[in-house]
Amino acid sequence: MRWFWIDRYEEFVRGRHATAVKNVSLAEEHLHDHFPGVAIMPNSLIVEGMAQAAGLLVADAIDFNRRVVLAKVAAAEFFFDAVPGDTIRFKAEVLDLKPAGSLTKVISTVGDRIQGQAELFFAHLEPGEGVPKLFETDELLRWLDQMHIYEIGRDEAGNPLSRPDW
Amino acid sequence: MPSREEIFDKVKSALVDALGVDEDDVTPGATMVGDLGAESIDFLDIVFRLEKAFNIKISRGELFPEDVLSSSEFVAEGKVTPAGIAALKARMPFADLSKFESNPSVQNFANTLTVEDMVRYVQSKLAA
């Protein structure tokens, strides 16, 4: 089982920015204990959602040929709690992208209110010794399909993204 | 060319953002690793921030010569050899390596780089 903290993308512009959606539901078991009678989506998991939204954006931009690992969470701030029934939108933006790492900014919104924001720094690790394989290619492709990346994704010029032939 | 104080202020703000330290901790003599708690991944973050703040390009290994420190050519029994010291000096003319030379164990290197070295590094890049 993997933890998926985004449901799908609504917008995905290769190497630039993307918007992913997360619907918070009381059907999620972790909310039953956090807290009984007053369910609140933990902000730590919102950071994970931010990291997934921005991480796939970065990994796609470098053709998935390095392992994109969340290395630092900088300047994270939260302004109110997300609760069951809320739709969180993660608006991710690539601020800087290099072979060895990338800096991104993600804002989470509920409706038109900013719920939180963070700068996320990713290290891009080369496959090899000491770097575990994060995904099997078919598993990764299933996830990308589930995220609707090749339905709504565009490159900078506005052309549809082609689904990789792995 | 900005003044030394202007460079120091921008370096300080990059380090405060990258390392989550207080402004008061970022003194010229503070060591990057020992005093400010920088880890290897932080150096990449710092490179990003310095590039942006000063509009410069920093190549991999320029600020922190990890390739020299992990090279069998320049390291013997955990210590940087005289040839290695020469390589470090050539690569990092901005850094004051005199203290490191007296006990050149690789582990010590992390505590060699100071905030002032970062300032001198940026000065040398801007002058180039």
Q: For every one of its 166 residues, what pLDDT tens digit does chain A have, with 9 covering 90 and above?
A: 578 999 999 999 999 999 999 999 999 999 999 999 999 999 999 999 999 999 999 999 999 989 999 999 988 999 999 999 999 999 999 999 998 899 999 999 999 999 999 999 999 988 776 777 777 889 999 999 999 999 999 999 999 999 988 8
Q: Does A71 touch chain B (CB under 8 A)?
A: yes
Closest CA to B88 of B116, B52, B117, B48: B117
Query: Which residues of chain B approach chain A closer than 8 Å at the C-beta?
Result: 17-18, 20, 41-42, 44-45, 48, 51-52, 60
CB atoms < 10 A from the CB of B95, how many?
Answer: 21
Residues B70 and B93 grouped into a single domain: yes
Residues B102 and B123 grouped into a single domain: no
Residues B53 and B72 grouped into a single domain: no
What are the pLDDT digits (tens) for B20-45?
999 999 999 999 999 999 988 888 89
Whether residues A103 and B48 touch (CB distance < 8 A) is answered with yes
Residues B16 and B32 grouped into a single domain: yes
pLDDT value at position A1? 56
Residue with tokens 């030394």: B4
CATH number of the CATH domain containing A89: 3.10.129.10
Query: Tell me, what's the ipTM?
Result: 0.71
pLDDT value at position B40? 80
Residue A92 near residue A53 (C-beta atoms within 8 A) = yes
Does residue A85 belong to any structural domain of this protein? yes
Does residue A113 belong to any structural domain of this protein? yes
Does residue A62 belong to any structural domain of this protein? yes
Residues B16 and B79 grouped into a single domain: no
pLDDT value at position A74? 83
pLDDT value at position B62? 85
Q: Which domain holds residue B19?
A: 1-58+113-128
Closest CA to A59 of A119, A5, A14, A95: A14
Instruction: Give the number of domains in chain A.
Output: 1
Q: What is the pTM of this model?
A: 0.84
B100-120 per-residue burial string, b: 16 or more CB within 10 A, e: under 16 = beeebebebbbebbbbbbbbb
Does residue A149 belong to any structural domain of this protein? yes
Q: Which domain holds residue A149?
A: 8-154
Closest CA to A123 of A52, A61, A74, A55: A55
Residue B56 near residue B122 (C-beta atoms within 8 A) = yes
Residues B122 and B82 grouped into a single domain: no
Residues of A annotated as catalytic are 34
Mutate to test the interface with B, among A121, A126, A131 (most CBs of B within 10 A): A121
Residues B94 and B121 grouped into a single domain: no
CATH number of the CATH domain containing B13: 1.10.1200.10
Does residue A2 belong to any structural domain of this protein? no
Whether residues A123 and B48 touch (CB distance < 8 A) is answered with no
Instruction: Give the number of domains in chain B.
Output: 2
B31 min Cα distance to partner chain A (Å):
21
Q: Fill in the DSSP letter of residue A3.
A: -
What are the pLDDT digits (tens) for B85-119?
999 999 999 998 988 999 999 888 878 899 999 99
Residues B44 and B83 grouped into a single domain: no
Residues B21 and B43 grouped into a single domain: yes
Residues B19 and B72 grouped into a single domain: no
Give CA separation, B72 vs B76, B78, B80, in Å: 7, 10, 9
Residues B34 and B75 grouped into a single domain: no
Please state the φ and ψ torsions of residue B107, each to the nearest 5 degrees: -60, -30
B21 min Cα distance to partner chain A (Å):
12
